[in-house]
Amino acid sequence: MCGICGFTGKANQNLLKQMTLKLIHRGPDEDGFYAGEKINLGMRRLSIIDLKTGQQPVCNEDQSIWAVFNGEVYNFSELREQLELKGHVFSSDHSDTEVIVHLYEEYGADFPDKINGMFSIALWDQPKEMLILVRDRMGVKPLFYALANSVLIFASEIKSILVHPGYHREMNYEAVYHYFSFKNIPAPLTCFLGINSLLPGEILFFSQGKIAKQRWWKINFKVNKDYDEEQAKTKIMALLEDATRLRMRSDVPIGAYLSGGLDSSTVVALMSRFTKVPLQTFSLGYEDEFKNKEADLYYARKISQQFHTEHHEYIMSHQELIADLENIVSAFDQPFSGVISTYFLTKLIKKHVKVALSGDGADELFGSYLSHRTANPMFYFKRLHEQYQNNTLTEKEKKLFAPCSLKYLAELYDKSGGNEIDWRYNLYLFSDQEKNALLTDNFKKHCLEVNTYKLVKNYFNSLSATDPLNRILELEWNTQLPDQVLSFVDFLSMAQAVEVRSPFLDYRLVEFVAALPGEIKIKDGKVKDILKKAVINLLPADVINRPKEGFVMPIFEWMTASLADYCQNVLAESRLAKHKILDYQVVKNMFKRYNKGEKELAAKLWNLVMFQLWWEKYFD
C-alpha cells in the first residue's frame, strides 16, 4: 500500500520529492523516485508484501517500462508463476508491484483484467512515450489527475497535485453545488477546477499532450437465471471464503474491524479459518451512553469470544471529534459530510497492525440502506396506489410494502409520484430548490446551468438493471459507493497508515451477486436475506438478525447539546461573509428551526459545517 504521484515532462527531482512528501502518511516506511527524460514518478511506501525487495518504482528487464502502484494484487503469486512460464524474469523476491510491469509487457492495455485486487497504477511506456493511469474495478484506491500546459500531473491525493506549480488553485463551483446534495463530490469532478478523478474501472492514456480514456470494467446487473436460491447461497459462501483467504496474504500482522454487525462478523468468522494465531479485532465506542452504540460493543465482544480473537476497543468523545476535524478535512482535501468513524478507530488499529479486513461493500451489494429498502415497496405502492386511496388493500398486498410503513411510502409518493428518479432524488440531502435559497447569487452565477436532478436522471438513464432494487443498487454502486463509502474508508484509514481490505469487494463475488434478482437480496422485508442465509451456520442467530446500525458516529445526537455551540460558531455570520457562498439568513433560520425541534435538519447543518471548514482550509 502506498501513495503515488508524478508528472510528465523534464526530470525535476526537487518538485517530485515535494509532491511525494505530501503523501508520507500513506507510506511512512520509505520513498522511491524515477525521473527520466520525459517522466517523473514518485511514491511513499507502506511495506506489506516483500518487505526487503519490494521497493518502487519498478521496471522490466530492459527498463523500458516503469510503474508506481498503490494497493494490493491479491493473486500476484499465481500471476507471477504464469508470467515466469512465459519467460519473464523477476528481480524481486515476491513483489506484487513487479508483476504489473510484466503483465503490461505480456498483455498490453488489457493487463488490468488479470488482476484481482485494489489498485491505482501509473505506468510509463518509454518506447511509446506514453503514461497510463489505471484505477481498480470498484474504485477502492483513488487516483486524481490534472492537465496543465500539456503536462499531466497525477497523485493518490489532491494535496500532492496542489504542490505542482503548473496547477493554479480554483474552486469548482459545479462540484461544490452537487456536494450539498450528495454529501460528497461526485466523480469525475473534484472541488478543484481542472483536477479530475479517474473513475472506477477506468484507464487513461496520455501521449503527445492528449488524453484518451476508456472503461475497462463496469458492473453488470443483468439477471442471471441459472442459479436458484440454494445454489446462490453455496456460491456466495465459497466466493466469500476464497476472497477472505486471498486478502490475508501479508508479510506483516493483520487484523479486522469488528462492529458486531453481520458484515464485519462474517469477515472475522471466515478469517479465523485461515490463521493459527488469535486474530486482532477492533471496535469503536463512545463515552456518552447511546443504546444503539452500546449494542455494537456487546455484539462485537460476543463475536470476539466465539472466535477467540484478541479484542481491542477505542472509546472516544465529542471533544476528540472537534480536535481532529481539521485533520479529517485534510485527509479528504474535499468537502465531505459522510461517515468519518474510520479515522478514530484506525488510531487504535495502527498501534497493533498495518492491515485490517472489513465488511465494506456488503450493504451496497446485498441491499440494506433506506433507498434499497424503499425500491421494491415503492414499485408496488405505485401500482397499488388506487387501492391504497380506496382503502381496499388486501393483507397479501400490504406485505409487498415491507419493510416500509404505509405512512412513509405515501409521503414519499406525494413528493415523487412514485417515479424512481424522483423518489430517489428526494432522499438526497439538499434539493435544487433548497440550494437555490441557500446559495448566494454570487455563487449561483458561476453555475447557472448546473442541476443535480439532471445529473441523477443521467445516472438512471445509463443503468443496465431492470428490477427495482437492482436499479437502485447499480445506481449507488457507480456513485455513492466509490465517491462516499470507499472514499472515507481509504482516506481516513490511510491518514493513519493502515491498509483496509474487504472480501465483499472481490470482483468475482460482485459480478455474481450483481446478477442475482433483487427479490432474493431483500426478501419479505428482510435486508441482505440471501447473505444471511448463506452465513446461517457461521454466526449466532442474534448477530445475523440484529437491526442494521451502521458504522456511524453519533454526531447528530451530539449536535443537540455537546456540538451545538461549536457548529453555530463555525457557521457564524462573520465566517460565512468571507466567501459569500451561503446565505447567512437561511442558515440562521435553519438553526432556529433545528433548536425548536426539527432534528432532521442536523444532517444539513453538519453538511454546511464541513463545507465551511474545508473552504477555510483551502481558500481562506
pLDDT digits (tens, 9 = 90+) for 143-152: 999 999 999 9
> How much is the average pLDDT of 31-60?
86
Region 72-77 average pLDDT: 94
The answer to whether residue 319 is domain-embedded is yes
pLDDT tens digits, one per residue of 400-444: 999 999 999 999 999 999 999 999 999 999 999 999 999 999 999
**Average pLDDT rounded to a whole number, residues 81-104:** 90
Q: Say whether both 211 and 271 belong to one domain.
A: no
Query: For strand 280-286 and strand 310-316, is the pairing parallel, antiparallel, or unpaired?
Result: parallel
Q: Find the domain containing 25 and state its range.
A: 2-215
Please, is 308 exposed, middle or buried when counting C-beta atoms within 10 Å of its C-beta (0-12, 13-18, 19+)?
Answer: exposed
In a shared domain, residues 204 and 339: no
Residue 282 contacts residue 267 (beta carbons within 8 Å): no
Cα 39 from Cα 130, distance rounded (Å): 9
* Positive/negative CA dihedral, 462, 464, 469, 475: negative
Amino acid residing at 147: L
pLDDT of residue 1: 60
Contact between 77 and 94 under an 8 Å Cβ cutoff? The reply is yes
**Together in a domain, 250 and 340:** yes
What is the arithmetic mean of pLDDT over 384-404?
Answer: 95
How far is the C-alpha of 423 from the C-alpha of 371, rounded, in Å?
9
Asked whether residue 46 carries a pLDDT value surpassing 90, the answer given is no
496-520: average pLDDT: 97
Q: Quickly state the pLDDT bin for 53 (edges 50, 70, 90).
A: low
Residues 6 or more apart in contact with residue 85 via CB below 8 angstroms = none
Q: So what's the pLDDT on residue 293?
A: 66
Asked if 319 and 208 sit in the same domain, the reply is no
27 in a domain, yes or no?
Answer: yes
Q: What is the CATH number of the domain that holds 196?
A: 3.60.20.10
> Domain end: 192, 215, 238, which one?
215
pLDDT for 582 beyond 70: yes
Q: Tell which of 193, 215, 237 closes a domain.
A: 215
Q: What is the domain count for the chain?
A: 2
- Among the candidates 503, 526, 543, a domain finishes at 543
- What pLDDT does 93 receive? 79
- In sequence order, the 6+-apart residues with CB closer than 8 A to the CB of 265 are 258, 299, 303, 359, 539, 543
What is the pLDDT at residue 47?
78
Report if residue 412 sits inside a domain: no
Residues contacting residue 194 through CB under 8 Å, at least 6 positions apart: 146, 147, 148, 167, 168, 170, 172
Shared-domain flag, residues 152 and 236: no
Same domain assignment for residues 170 and 41: yes
Is the pLDDT at 550 greater than 80? The verdict is: no
The answer to whether position 382 is within a domain reads: no
For residue 196, tell me if it sits in a domain.
yes
Predicted pLDDT of residue 549? 63
Give dist(CA 243, CA 524) in Å, integer: 29
Residue 548 or 370, more confident: 370
Burial class (CB in 10 A: 0-12, 13-18, 19+), 583: middle
Mean pLDDT of the chain: 94
Is it the case that residue 552 has pLDDT exceeding 70?
Answer: no
The answer as to whether 259 is a domain residue is: yes
Q: Are residues 325 and 197 in the same domain?
A: no
Q: Is the pLDDT of residue 204 over 70?
A: yes
Stated as kind and residue range, the H or E segment containing 8 is: strand 2-8
pLDDT tens sequence across 155-200: 999 999 999 999 999 999 999 999 999 999 999 999 999 999 999 9
DSSP character string of 19-39: HHHTTGGG-BSEEEEEE-SSE
Are 124 and 134 in contact by the 8 Å Cβ rule? The answer is no
Cβ 20 vs Cβ 218: under 8 Å: no
Same domain, 15 and 54: yes
Distance, CA of 500 to CA of 343 (rounded, Å): 12
Question: How far is 588 from 574, CA to CA, in rounded Å?
Answer: 12
Beta strands in 456-568 (DSSP E): 499-501
Question: Is residue 292's pLDDT more than 70?
Answer: no
pLDDT digits (tens, 9 = 90+) for 220-259: 998 888 888 999 999 999 999 999 999 999 888 899 999 9
Would you say residue 467 lies in a domain?
A: no
CA pair distance 246, 76, nearest whole angstrom: 10
177 lies in the same domain as 63: yes
Percent of the chain clearing pLDDT 90 (strictly above): 87
198 and 237 inside one domain: no
| pLDDT tens, position by position, 460-485 | 999 999 999 999 999 999 999 999 99
Query: Which amino acid is it at 165?
Result: P
| pLDDT category of residue 111 using cuts at 50, 70 and 90 | very high
Q: Identify whether 360 is part of a domain.
A: yes
- Cβ within 8 Å of residue 475, ≥6 positions away: 424, 459, 460, 463
> Which CATH number is 354's domain given?
3.40.50.620
Closest CA to 255 of 294, 208, 310: 310
| Percentage of the chain lying above the pLDDT 70 cut | 97
137 phi/psi in degrees, rounded to 5? -55, -45
pLDDT band at 616 (very low <50, low <70, confident <90, very high): very high
Are 116 and 23 members of one domain? Answer: yes
The C-alpha cell that represents 197 in the structure block: 478523478
Residues 197 and 262 grouped into a single domain: no
